[in-house]
Structure 1
């Protein structure tokens, strides 16, 4: 047997593997895996063809041997680089975290509480921990502004591209700062102060429906986690899409919530390895739950697109009929006939109807704002706006539901705090919940303290928001972090750090009031909504929801744990699936004695 072709093939495979690794080190290849696998398979097939054509003995054996050597050399090169030569190599951390991000997957699947695992790593290794081959977690208040602030030079990390690439992604997944700012314009308008005033009475009607449902269950165990989901989901249906999903009314779980939680569970398992997540998304059998939720969200968006498109010619007719003198009284009568059959609140252009209906000079829901944004109306890819529908539902319902459930947990656990909240609300709204207004509630410091303390101890997104350092790197205090390293500040951990909060593990709403302000040593360490350019755009809407529900419930009911419930499950079994998926919490509501 002539061994020369064998030696040549094997040597070339080893050299090619090392050269390939060196060539990809400066580049982000996370979402080119599919193409690279295709190239790999094609190369193996090509090698077999060449060997066969050259009449090499046992070309199949030589091909397999060459592929094996290539794989071994590539693996060895990657391991040596990550363990000894990597730019993030100076940071301490578990050995396996230096080798592979699959170590984070291992930590995630243990109990689905990755944020607590990261907290333990910081206790062991310090403020800077290497949690992946090129990933560093930082638990210092001074890092917040540098990594997340408006002037930060960091960009979003590859994690955000695991669903779709620019420009086909949602606002939340947009990694291009300029493009993100352009798209955020419509979102900011949809969550403006003026729009919040428009949303308030509609949100109030849904809150009253929640109160009615709780009243019908007085004295019996209520799973407040489930009802928090019903409420936040219905609110986002109204505010986001201008429609109701009817869960508060029916008291039944919409299938979309199950699909949402299944999709988020998948993200909790494999989201730590974005390229794997993207790869699995292209395998329908592996991501049935994710595709089910995605398809449902996209369907809601497509229905909304059709509705908005149908309104535009009608709006033009209304303008013509009302504003053109020659139409006279006939125009007004025609407009009246149109208005009588239209869902008026969804009209998106200014429509003056001589006082017959209210003046509608803006959209009445967030999606219409996005669809009618003049700067993006003809430029935004269809997939991008469809992805925004999923963002609205996840960010607008899942996170609020988690915070509500945890707020009720703390108020049931600390009855003194609940009683104090009732006293504050009684003084502010002596006529009961019918007098509630968000403007007044904003000034109630103890109510704000309850909300902030819940957000501090149980942030809806407990892990750190991942960012990529700029090519030149950055410095946090005295520590330099090289460029193209993924960094984050773990929200759950830093908000429970004794360096920044006195009695950091205790629920003390008064720490957010003047009387105990010293208990918050550094407000930079409070980041439940993140900060800066990529911060939560719906923050003020979420706070209004929380104020309204907590206030109206406290004004109407006494609250306590149901028999056999002590809240331990919500501490031990709530899962980190990027957002928190909260376990059932059973409480008892009782009518207040007036």
Structure 2
């Protein structure tokens, strides 16, 4: 019986090693977690029927223990990335990043800045992940000629322009979006100004009382994007939003902390997204977007807006409708939080740099006769650029996966099938790219070009084939809001406001998050 018992006990070890070497090392399984759980559950049940629960449980423990130990040994000792420096825990598991996010209170951007200073330009931040702080990597990783497709994070939701890894589909759909943006934004500019009128009226009606800066900016951006997605706003700026719209905004806002924790673990996000699509707040969000898009599809619109172009260039099939449903959610979720955060940070910068605010006001007033939110105003755009450089709406650009043959960047070779991420927050504060990198100096984009050493390092909207399709719209919104506010108001922050403390409290979720406890501002009407 002894040899037979030993052979049985060895089977879980051998099976675990075979699974790791033949499958887990060679196949990306992040999107197959629920499939794996189902297969394991079925196998365990069959084993219980054959040998009983106790023996099946012991074999199961042996299998998972063996797989875990072998995986950790491989990642620590034999992995192709073993020569790259980085925290030891990060080399073993991405749960290290989740724990670090929690213990630093969602300040991983600062952790990455410290890792760059300690380990250099290429740091191993996961079992098969490298974080890159070298600006020379931007073109080969993100550029038009890059051979690095999107990473497993983009498997977590339905296929849309943004959340797809299918390069052929993306190229075809991107052409539709680019044409839609090109033909519709000029017609949409007056609509943006209408929302800005409502926004300024709301601020004016505060009569000098403090207003919640981030909340106001969020209401503005959600109204603009819902109007863009469905042909009607949510009604937040005017205070006419429905209870459903209020709950949708609360769901999206309240979920950001959780998203910031699990963003770094795509396989977990993938499993959670499948489960939450069946019930819960995210299902309500999906149902609401479907209802509104169906109403938009039934509307015989003559508006030349973005969604009209998307509808006209999408097959009227069940698959086509699902694509439109997903892209309506994309328009709102991707375009609202990012713009609201950017607006909030710009207004804080102006409040803490009153001389810059007065200069922007002077520039706007002198150009009122020809002003359009579609056209740049040099100093206004410089303020926007400088704020985005210091505090981009996305601290981490999307994952890419190196091609099988790997990528060489200068003297550094990154093996194939490695997840890579470029960190704008760190790159933008690197003195190799910008002099006085931690200082807010809008003139570096106008009269002080000597302060910009490497302009190509400035990529707040990413770059290449996957850059932000809505960046022109975002600039239109920011120009419109900032110009109109500084034209009418002096911006003041509360007594006791400490600028350094405010910026230290900015969190990184999937998007940057302004400190909600210090979001009040006072507006004084100016002549």
Q: What does 1:217-232 align with in structure 2 at a 5 Å threshold?
A: 217-232=206-221
SS of equivalent to 2:31: coil
SS of equivalent to 1:588: strand
Confirm or deny that 1:175 pairs with 2:165: yes
Residue number among 141, 154, 158 corresponding to 2:152 in the alignment: 158
Task: Give yes or no for contact 1:280–1:287 (8 Å, CA) kept in 2.
Answer: no
Residue number among 80, 89, 102 corresponding to 1:87 in the alignment: 80
Q: Distance in 2 between matches of 1:494 and 1:41?
A: 46
Q: Distance in 2 between matches of 1:381 and 1:191?
A: 20
Q: Does 272-281 or 472-481 show the bigger shift? A: 272-281
Give the structure-2-normalised TM-score: 0.94
Q: What does 1:87-236 align with in structure 2 at a 5 Å threshold?
A: 87-110=80-103, 111-164=105-158, 169-192=159-182, 194-236=183-225
Give the C-alpha shift of residue 568 in structure 1.
5.0
SS of equivalent to 2:425: helix
Q: Distance in 2 between matches of 1:157 and 1:195?
A: 31
Q: Distance in 2 between matches of 1:80 and 1:5?
A: 28
- Determine which structure has more spread, i.e. the larger CA radius of gyration: 1
SS of equivalent to 2:131: strand
Change (3 A) 1:411 1:446: same
Task: Give yes or no for contact 1:569–1:583 (8 Å, CA) kept in 2.
Answer: no
Residue number among 353, 371, 378 corresponding to 1:436 in the alignment: 371
Equivalent position of 1:277 in the other structure: 269
Equivalent position of 1:72 in the other structure: 65
Confirm or deny that 1:542 pairs with 2:481: no
SS of equivalent to 2:385: helix
Q: Distance in 2 between matches of 1:248 and 1:45?
A: 56
Give the structure-1-normalised TM-score: 0.84
Q: Distance in 1 between matches of 2:279 and 2:439?
A: 39
Confirm or deny that 1:470 pairs with 2:403: yes
Q: Distance in 2 between matches of 1:145 and 1:399?
A: 24
Give the C-alpha shift of residue 419 in structure 1.
1.2
Q: Distance in 1 between matches of 2:76 and 2:135?
A: 29
Equivalent position of 1:418 in the other structure: 357
Task: Give yes or no for contact 2:187–2:305 (8 Å, CA) kept in 1.
Answer: no
SS of equivalent to 1:292: helix
Q: Distance in 2 between matches of 1:267 and 1:381?
A: 28
SS of equivalent to 1:462: coil
Equivalent position of 2:312 in the other structure: 372
For residues 114-150 of structure 1, what are the alpha-carbon distances to aligned partners after superposition, in whole Å with 9 as ceiling and x for unaligned? 2222222212211101110000001011111111101
Give the C-alpha shift of residue 474 in structure 1.
0.5
Give the C-alpha shift of residue 384 in structure 1.
2.9
Q: Distance in 2 between matches of 1:112 and 1:385?
A: 33
Equivalent position of 1:340 in the other structure: none
Change (3 A) 1:284 1:422: closer
Task: Give yes or no for contact 2:373–2:477 (8 Å, CA) kept in 1.
Answer: no
Task: Give yes or no for contact 1:149–1:533 (8 Å, CA) kept in 2.
Answer: yes
SS of equivalent to 2:255: helix
SS of equivalent to 1:438: coil
Equivalent position of 1:392 in the other structure: 331
Residue number among 281, 304, 309 corresponding to 2:296 in the alignment: 304
Q: Distance in 1 between matches of 2:211 and 2:49?
A: 68
Task: Give yes or no for contact 1:14–1:69 (8 Å, CA) kept in 2.
Answer: yes
Task: Give yes or no for contact 1:500–1:520 (8 Å, CA) kept in 2.
Answer: yes
Query: Aligned pairs, how many?
Result: 520
Equivalent position of 2:9 in the other structure: 10
Q: Does 280-289 or 94-103 show the bigger shift? A: 280-289
- 5+ long unaligned stretches in structure 2: none
Give the C-alpha shift of residue 539 in structure 1.
0.6
Q: Distance in 2 between matches of 1:6 and 1:406?
A: 66
Give the C-alpha shift of residue 31 in structure 1.
1.3
Equivalent position of 1:56 in the other structure: none
Q: Distance in 1 between matches of 2:28 and 2:307?
A: 33
Task: Give yes or no for contact 1:218–1:588 (8 Å, CA) kept in 2.
Answer: no
Q: What does 1:30-69 align with in structure 2 at a 5 Å threshold?
A: 30-51=30-51, 59-69=52-62
Q: What does 1:386-535 align with in structure 2 at a 5 Å threshold?
A: 386-429=325-368, 436-439=371-374, 441-442=375-376, 444-513=377-446, 515-535=447-467
Q: Distance in 1 between matches of 2:497 and 2:389?
A: 23
For residues 58-108 of structure 1, what are the alpha-carbon distances to aligned partners after superposition, in whole Å with 9 as ceiling and x for unaligned? x43332222121112111211111111112221111111110011111122
Change (3 A) 1:45 1:255: closer
Give the C-alpha shift of residue 583 in structure 1.
2.6
Change (3 A) 1:37 1:295: same
Change (3 A) 1:212 1:239: same
Task: Give yes or no for contact 2:132–2:422 (8 Å, CA) kept in 1.
Answer: yes
Give the C-alpha shift of residue 288 in structure 1.
3.0
Q: Distance in 2 between matches of 1:3 and 1:284?
A: 48
Change (3 A) 1:437 1:483: same
Task: Give yes or no for contact 1:261–1:581 (8 Å, CA) kept in 2.
Answer: no
Q: Distance in 1 between matches of 2:412 and 2:499?
A: 40
For residues 330-388 of structure 1, what are the alpha-carbon distances to aligned partners after superposition, in whole Å with 9 as ceiling and x for unaligned? xxxxxxxxxxxxxxxx23xxxxxxxxxxxxxxx533222222106x4548444332221
For residues 266-325 of structure 1, what are the alpha-carbon distances to aligned partners after superposition, in whole Å with 9 as ceiling and x for unaligned? 221112111111222343499834333333333322332333xxx3xxxxxxxxxxxxxx
Give the C-alpha shift of residue 393 in structure 1.
0.3
